[in-house]
Amino acid sequence: MKSEEMKSRSEILSSTRTLVLKVGSTVLASPQAGVNMRVLGVIARQVAWLRARGIRVVIVSSGAIAAGRMKLDFGKKPLTLAMKQAAASVGQSRLMWGYERAFSPHRLMVSQVLLTPRDVVRRSRFTNLERTLETLLALGVVPVVNENDSVATEEIRFGDNDRLSALVSGTVKADFLLILSDVDGLYTSDPSRNPNAIPIPYVEKVTSDIESLAGISRSGLGTGGMASKVLTARWANRWGLPVGIVNGRKGAPVERFFEGGGTLFFARKKLWAAKKVWIGFFSEPSGTLVLDEGAMKAISHGKSSLLAGGITRHEGVFESGEVVRLLSATGHEIGRGVCRMPSSEVALWTRRKSSGERSADSWPLAVHRNTMVLWEREEE
């Protein structure tokens, strides 16, 4: 491994204040007990190792359905949604009991946090979640986060815990996300099929070539576990969050990653503030504002707010304070922002604009630059 790549890892370790550790079900699963206590013991020791270095840790853990499946004697048969929900309900307590037992020797307290997408996409609930997790971390507790699978439906869920781990990272303002998997990281080809596959220790940017190695098609859809992890890394890198993947079943995985194991997906830009991460990536826009060329130029460098005079039309019905998509005249999404007026008021100003009024002093503020995220500028 090149010295600059090792420097990146050591710098991440030394500068990280909060780390999110994602533990996959393939790492935790045990055919006999549902939850592998040996692996949980290793994870507890690794968290204690991080805590000794002053790093706060949030765990995003899968494994509830697998634990409940074993307890309910479901075997390996395919499960209906109702059966998955039942397994999650039974398995979640067993999973948390395992964490309690593993972390107790290190005098570390754990807590359970179960989430649904509504807890993230709605600003008020996101703020409450942010406050809760920050309080737990300030008290020295290790939060263990999981999707609330006992009530989640196929239509309303995060999709997988790789994506959830990135959402949690943005919520707690984490400096690094480390994903524990059942493989050693990204390879030049599938190592289970090609014994000559070469590990890739460092990815400066997730390109189409990198995506293809993980089985991600041109449509952006992936196949298999590594595809989900690379898509998560690409997503998180966009707001400045570096991501690591390492085998969670070998040795001391966290230490091994920072010693050069696994794959580091480096983030080239500065970490965004949590509010901008929410606006750009977690929120559910309520409408759309289409901008003229003058407005596009004014806001393009991030130093100007959007005035109502720069809006040619709007789409959707929204209230003041809701997130809207910002579109160019050609229909390309250039960013998102919090609109400071309802759609009814936007309509009034766009009618004034179309009637020929051009007095810049009379245009009210529509989206402040501090609550605006621009894709082109951020992707440069």
Which residue positions form the known binding site for substrate? 62, 149, 161
Report the SS3 class of residue 194.
Answer: coil
Structure tokens belonging to residue 129: 């979640």
Q: Are 351 and 339 in contact (CB under 8 A)?
A: no
Cβ burial, residue 310 (10 Å; 0-12/13-18/19+): buried
For 134, residues 6+ apart whose C-beta sits below 8 A from its C-beta are 172
Burial 199-225 (b: 16+ CB within 10 A, else e): ebbbbeebeeebbebbbbeeeeebeeb
Query: Could you tell me the end-to-end alpha-carbon distance of the chain, in angstroms, rounded to an integer?
Result: 28
What sign results for the dihedral spanned by CA atoms 176, 181, 187, 190?
Answer: negative
Name the region of 24 (left: φ>0; alpha: ψ -120 to 50; beta: rest). Answer: beta
DSSP tag of 179: E
Q: Beta partners for 179? A: 22, 245
CA distance 128 to 156: 20
For the chain, what is the largest distance between any 2 Cα atoms, rounded to a whole number of angstroms? 75
Instruction: Report the binding-site residues for ATP.
Output: 22, 181-182, 223-229
Rg (CA), the chain: 23
Q: Are 162 and 227 in contact (CB under 8 A)?
A: no
CA distance 66 to 195: 30
Instruction: Report the binding-site residues.
Output: 22, 62, 149, 161, 181-182, 223-229
Q: Are 57 and 50 in contact (CB under 8 A)?
A: yes
